[in-house]
Amino acid sequence: MKQKSDFSVIGRALATVAGFDRVYQKLEQQVVLRGQAKSTFENYIHRIAQVSLHFNCLPEEVVEEELNDYLAALALSAKSPSRSAFKHSVYGLRYYYRYVGLPTRAVKLPSLKKDAKLPDILNKAELRKLFVAPALLKHRILLMLIYSAGLRSSELINLKIADIDFERKAIHIRRSKYNKDRIVPLSVYMAVGLKKYLALEQPLTWLFNGKQLGSPYSSKAVSWVMSEAVKATDISKHVTVHSLRHSYATHLIEDGLNIVTVKDLLGHSKIETTMVYLHIAQCPIVQAHSPLDTLYPQQR
């Protein structure tokens, strides 16, 4: 769901930039035809609108040097230390230039180096503190469910009551990133908490209702719940909602689950994405040995 600022940026581009309305419609159509997630379109069109408003014309009309100056300013901006604005602008422009038949301009855009920084995770003692911090049961269940199933924030807010299968102990995550469905195990402990929450709150359709009747919870609200819960503890790490997903993956590997299964549970498209958790997980060190020694019982 777009925030008010998104409506403002896109609305102004639609009203003031010649041709942007046509671009909006065509890009939305392309995303639908390719079966891509709606969030992909929203991210791209928001960044394209920002560029169009800045130059008061469509991106293909912007001089290459001027565009590079604009992107450099984004990359160096103190307001975006994670460089997320820069990164998403480059992704959006690449998509746009390929769409309008200018692949050479897409190639000339700055390359994006992968961040080598390892994600922060919460240890199990910190998680126990976090899950008892919120005063509302709804907020406690919300945070626990993200960790227990390794959910992205967007996956959590799109869960419906019908997606929780208590009998089969499974959670059906629908049309997530890469437009894929997947099934993840429902924790027995989590099932008890969810049943208590459902009986108390009696949500309609969506597992977590938003403020407006019939609407799902917002990602902004999920971030607020996490932030307030962390503040109520002595946790000093810089963690976000996504840190719960990182913690889920790391703890599964530490519990002995193989990396391929963890990849499938997370819904990653490439095993390389999952392998970062091997650098975080604290697994028992196995002494170097020959497999022949484990093939036969030790002779005494």
Burial class (CB in 10 A: 0-12, 13-18, 19+), 155: buried
For the chain, percent of residues with pLDDT exceeding 90 = 54
Nearest to 261 by CA among 178, 185, 155: 185
Contact call for residues 186 and 165 (beta carbons, < 8 A): yes
Domain housing 254? 124-279
Domain shared by 75 and 157, yes or no:
no
Confidence of residue 2 (pLDDT cuts 50, 70, 90): very low
Give a yes or no: residue 184 inside a domain: yes
- Lowest mean pLDDT across 89-98, 164-173, 249-258: 89-98
pLDDT of residue 101: 86
Of the candidates 139, 245, 246, 263, the residue annotated as catalytic is: 245
Answer yes or no: 177 catalytic. Answer: yes
Q: What is the pLDDT of residue 3?
A: 44
Residue 18 has pLDDT above 90, yes or no: yes
Active site residue 277: yes
172: helix, strand or coil: strand
Residues 266 and 138 in one domain: yes
Which of 108, 132, 166 is the last residue before a domain boundary? 108
Catalytic residue, from 12, 38, 54, 268: name it.
268
Helix boundaries (H) for 77-203: 84-99, 103-108, 124-132, 137-149, 153-157, 188-201
Distance between CA 146 and CA 150 in Å, rounded? 6
Using 50, 70 and 90 to split pLDDT, how confident is the model at 6? low
Residues 100 and 137 in one domain: no
Contacts of 192 (CB under 8 A, 6+ apart): none
**Cα–Cα distance between 144 and 116 in angstroms, integer?**
28
CATH number of domain containing 252: 1.10.443.10
Count of Cβ atoms closer than 10 Å to residue 245 Cβ: 22
Going edge to edge, which strands form the sheet with 170-173?
164-165, 170-173, 182-185
Which of 95, 96, 248, 277 is catalytic? The answer is 277
Residues 271 and 244 in one domain: yes
Mean pLDDT, all residues of the chain:
87
* Residue 176 · residue 267 · CB < 8 Å: yes
The per-residue pLDDT for 74 is 81
18: left (phi over 0), alpha (psi -120 to 50) or beta: beta
C-beta separation of 280 from 121 below 8 A: yes
Looking at the structure of the chain, the number of domains it has is: 2
51 and 194, same domain (yes or no): no
pLDDT at 132 over 60: yes
Question: Strand, helix or coil at 59?
Answer: helix
With a cut of 50, say whether residue 90 has pLDDT above it. Answer: yes
Q: Report whether pLDDT(139) > 80.
A: yes
pLDDT recorded at residue 80 = 47
**CA of 126: how far to CAs of 115, 142, 169, 281, in Å?**
26, 16, 26, 16
Pair 212, 78 in one domain: no
How would residue 121 be classed by pLDDT, with cut points 50, 70 and 90? very high
Point out the catalytic residue in the list 83, 138, 177, 182. Answer: 177
Identify the residue with better confidence: 145 or 117: 145
- pLDDT value at 292 more than 80: no
Question: Does a structural domain hold residue 225?
Answer: yes
* Residues 159, 146: Cα–Cα separation, whole Å: 11
Is-catalytic flag, 251? no
Q: Which two tokens stand for residue 145?
A: 């469910």
Tens digits of residue pLDDT in 146-194: 999 999 999 999 999 999 999 999 999 997 776 789 999 999 999 999 9
Q: How confident is the model over 239-258, as a mean pLDDT?
A: 94
User: What confidence tens digit (pLDDT) does each residue in 20-71 have?
Assistant: 999 898 888 887 777 777 777 888 899 899 999 999 999 999 998 899 888 8
Contacts 24+ apart (CB under 8 A), 61-68: 64/105, 64/108, 67/93, 68/110
Given 46, 139, 152, 251, the catalytic residue? 152
Indicate if 129 and 274 belong to the same structural domain.
yes
Q: Tell me the percentage of the chain whose pLDDT exceeds 70.
A: 90
Task: Please confirm, yes or no, whether 268 is among the known catalytic residues.
Answer: yes
The backbone torsions φ and ψ at residue 239, rounded to the nearest 5 degrees and listed phi first, read: -120, 155
**Confidence check: pLDDT of 265 > 60:** yes
In the residue annotation, 139 being an active-site residue is answered as no
Predicted local confidence at residue 4, as pLDDT: 43
Tens digits of residue pLDDT in 187-223: 999 999 999 999 999 998 999 999 887 889 999 999 9
